[in-house]
Amino acid sequence: MPLRGLRNPKVALRRRQLLPSWVRHVDTKAARKINARRVLHPLVDRGYQRLSHAADRGVLWFTFAAVLAVLGRHRAALRGVASLTAASILANLVGKEVFGGDRPLLKDVPIGRHLRKQPTSGSFPSGHSASAAAFATGVALESTAAGGVVAPVAAGVAYSRLHTGAHWLSDVIGGIALGAGVAAIGRLVLPARPATRDIVAPHLHRVELPAIPDGAGVFILVNRDAGSTPIHHDLGPAIADHLPRAVVRYFNTGETAKEVVDHAIASEHPPRVLGVAGGDGTVAAVAHEARKHNLPLLVIPGGTFNHFARTAGVFGLHDGLHALADGEGIVADVADLRFADQEPVTVINTASVGIYPDFIQERAKHERRWGRWIAGVIGAARVLRKSDPVEVSVNGRRARVWSLFVGVDQNFPGMVATLKRRHLEDGVLDVRVLHAGTRPKAVAALAFGHRTTALLRFLRLLPATTEIESFTAETVRVSVRPRHGQPPGFSHDGEVSPEVDEATRPDGGYVTTLQIVPDGLRVYTPLKHRRHHRSGG
């Protein structure tokens, strides 16, 4: 590799003219200090090299955006990418043309730190640093938790440009300022929306339900392990305090909702109302029991996303308590999911095969050590990098897909992952198929959907096409072929479906059917106390 030992005189003169002497002095001093640390382990140097290359052309941030989308943070992904795109254009097409300047001499940088391909554009500002800061800031504006995960990676990318000798300190600082500034200006143009703003369909089928302000006859199951952080609020004591006559029961290890509810129904005083405090997976399990015993369901959000509860207008404990006290309720569509000849199970949001079940299984491997959020980032990143397509047959049509999502009722348009329903009574299944193209196409489509990918294609940041198909149906029959001799995972409502194990054929494939059940579930919702929110997604 030829060393860049001599500076272009015109470029060097330009840098000297544009930058004050004290800035150039600080740049030189910082570079000498970083380059003097020659005793670092080779793995450290290699790690910064790989991190810097991973951020080339924004690939690292597009992958992060896809991870956020898989985790349900679509707005954070979109704002991050929009900020990154604007900052990249300003840094590379404007900043470098106006300011430019020469880069550090490679002969001064330890050879083990050199990048495989040295940049040849102007030095100021650092485009990598601008993109990293813009993406991290944009994400943080929509989700503080997600921003907290992205920020250290962004800082690492910015430092890697110093460590590898690609930029001066002033280049990196200028890039960071530019990127953060672009994201901040973007917030003024399009204000960040609070995470609690969800849609509730205006055409609700209202029903009168038992009004029980003290909880008499209410049986509530609490999943204390629900939620995304190791330390979270236990809703049990608060529920018992507000509903003194209710029976509040925690799940024990290994127990199923069926076992607990069947025991309560067989008791001397069977419940008139079933309640659940937990995430979507727990809600789906208890909703199935409520349907089986023809009981209304009281939902108290206590999980990570609480998609069903929020669509039903229940954003917290007090919303559920108001609805229960006033006897206010609606009927909501659900779906029956059946594997082979097994009994059907209830789906309240979505079912999926492909990338998403792979993500859930990968996340579970790291969850105990790192917690659900960090484990989710690790799991999603690995799945998006290594997961293979799945061969399926959908209503008789064969396809090779990255993902197949089947949502209950209409979901947010333009997205591949139908994780959150918009309506409660559409009477259809919303099917989204991401056909198997190249991996960058899959990542882009999963993260951004139709509208944003069109913009990114126009800017030539993404390939020209993505193979997304969507349609609605009342029944969807899916035949899944084995992958590497093993049955691909299937999930519904954020949990892996254990029914796959019993339904798997000897060759590793299986068949499942989803059917919409209009008005299949009676749910408490605070109609009098409802606040109408704009939809997002």
User: What average pLDDT does the segment 116-135 reach?
Assistant: 81
Lowest mean pLDDT among 10-14, 96-100, 341-345: 10-14
pLDDT in tens, 345-375: 999 999 999 888 888 888 888 877 776 666 7
Lowest mean pLDDT among 80-89, 111-120, 295-304, 425-434: 111-120
What domains appear along the chain, each with residue ranges and CATH number? 9-189 (1.20.144.10), 206-332 (3.40.50.10330), 350-521 (2.60.200.40)
Look up residue 448 and give its two tokens: 């951004």
**Separation of alpha carbons 252 and 104, rounded Å:** 62
Highest mean pLDDT among 129-143, 165-179, 225-239: 129-143
Q: Quick one: pLDDT at residue 276?
A: 95
Q: Which amino acid is at 47?
A: G
Decide: 128 and 158 in contact? Cβ < 8 Å. yes
pLDDT in tens, 369-424: 776 666 766 776 677 677 788 999 999 999 998 889 999 998 876 666 666 788 88
pLDDT beyond 60 at 197: no
Q: Quick one: pLDDT at residue 199?
A: 42
pLDDT in tens, 420-447: 788 888 899 999 888 876 555 555 555 5
Tell me the residue ranges of DSSP E strands in 83-230.
Answer: 206-208, 218-222
Q: Which pTM was predicted?
A: 0.68
Query: What is residue 355's three-state secondary structure?
Result: helix
Beta-ladder partners of 477: 513
Q: Quick one: pLDDT at residue 184?
A: 86
Phi, psi of 332 (to 5 degrees): -125, 145
Give the residue from 240, 5, 330, 40 showing the smallest Cα distance to 159: 40
Residue 104's alpha-carbon distances to 12, 163, 393, 459, in angstroms, are 10, 11, 56, 30
